[in-house]
Amino acid sequence: MKIVLEHLTKRFPNRNKKIKTEVIAANDLTFEIPDGALIGLLGPSGCGKSTTLNLISGLEVPTEGRVYFGEDDVTDLPPEKRGVGLVFQNYALYPHMTVLENIMFPLGNFKGDERLPKEEMKRRAYEAAKLVQIEELMERRPSELSGGQQQRVAIARALVKRPGVLLLDEPLSNLDARLRLATREEIRRIQRETGITTIFVTHDQEEAMSISDLIVVMKDGVIHQISKPQAVYDDPVNLFVATFLGTPKINVFSGSVKDGRLFLGSDAVLGVPGVPDGEVTVGIRPEGFLPSPDGPMVCGLSRVEVMGRDTSIVFTHPAFDGEAGRAIVDAEDAAGLEPGEVRFALRPSKTHLFDPVTGDRIRPRDASEA
């Protein structure tokens, strides 16, 4: 099912009652989620992504704006009428019920003609359990399950009603690192098999990058960018998106542009045709540095960390915004580097310019005209 959010805004009264200003958890969100897509809502904690999820599920009522499922306006519908399956961060499995009873619970809420015979309820519960591969755990209680298994039960319980939309709130945050990798593949698989439109919330960029069809990057209740995962990384719209995505972090410098050339300190490091003169904030991805003996960017070399295939070079530069930057280069290119000085050439595609005040991306003017 396609989901459309239109100017969705949610304001909460401030928790500190003395402060009259309201907290804006979601600010004028407008975007469309295509049918059958897996969407990652990504942002730092407190950015309003959980609120957005609750607005879609109907647990929260928006202050302004509308929510559409397909062609239907569901803004005023309570959660149970929207046909959503919701998986909570802590799974919210009922501890006093077995796995089977937990999965069957939503079916027991059907009323009137929709009411299913017990056998059919059981059949559907097993069908959902099979999808998440937990059929052999049906008689256990949640406390007897591992975190990953509880997660699967929660997904089965969300899917058993055959909802049009599946919502997952921080689905992997309670799992250990190894399970996290396996479970996110599992979520992707389940989503592919059912073709259900799925939205999940996360603060972990790697999680979002690895399984989403589209990533929505949020901060302070505002959407900063909606793109395919690779595009969010390669083509950030502003400094926040650039710094939030990528490990190790993007290296940020203060620089200036003069006559189509980018200056970091006194060195002209890169030609940037079409960019107007002025101060800029420069973001360079760690893989944007190429060690070369006559490279234009002169840096102090603090240390070299060998990581096998790649080598991480920790460097200092007078224009760098912080202590030390980090470049990731091929092990071959880093051979023979000695502490002291290192020279880099920059890859233009990995070097992004931002407005030092607004943080917005500065793009070459002629490129956009062409």
State the nearest-atom distance from the C-beta of 194 to another protein, in Å.
Answer: 18
How far apart CA 135 and CA 186 sit, in angstroms, is: 16
In angstroms, what is the minimal distance from the CB of 4 to another protein?
Answer: 20
Residue 235 tokens read as 């083509």
Annotate each residue in 39-68 with x if it binds another protein (CB under 8 A) or - if it does not, as one string: ------------------xxx---------
Decide: is 112 part of the binding site for another protein (CB under 8 A). Answer: no
Q: Which string of x and - marks every residue 67-86 that binds another protein (by CB under 8 A)?
A: -----------xxxx--xxx
Least Cα distance to 63 among 19, 32, 22 occurs for 22
What tokens appear for 238 in the block? 């502003």
Closer residue to another protein in complex, CB, 109/292? 109
Structure-token match 């299913």, residue found: 116
State the nearest-atom distance from the C-beta of 57 to another protein, in Å.
6
Q: Which residue has the tokens 């003395």?
A: 18
User: For residues 93 and 264, which CB has a smaller minimum distance to another protein in the complex?
Assistant: 93
* Closer residue to another protein (CB): 84 or 131: 84
Residue 350 binds another protein, judged by CB under 8 A? no
User: With contact defined as beta carbons under 8 Å apart, do 84 and 163 qualify?
Assistant: yes
CA dist list (Å): 25 to 11, 67, 215: 6, 16, 19
Distance CA 227, CA 216 (A): 7
Query: CB atoms < 10 A from the CB of 19, how many?
Result: 10
Number of residues that bind another protein (CB under 8 A): 25
Least distance (Å) between residue 342 CB and another protein: 52
Contact 43, 33 (CB under 8 A): no
The interface mask with another protein, positions 154-193, x = CB under 8 A, is: -------x--------------------------------
Specify whether the CB–CB gap between 137 and 18 falls below 8 A: no
Q: Would you tell me which residues interact with another protein (CB under 8 A)? A: 57-59, 78-81, 84-86, 88, 90, 92, 94-97, 105-106, 108-109, 141, 143-144, 161
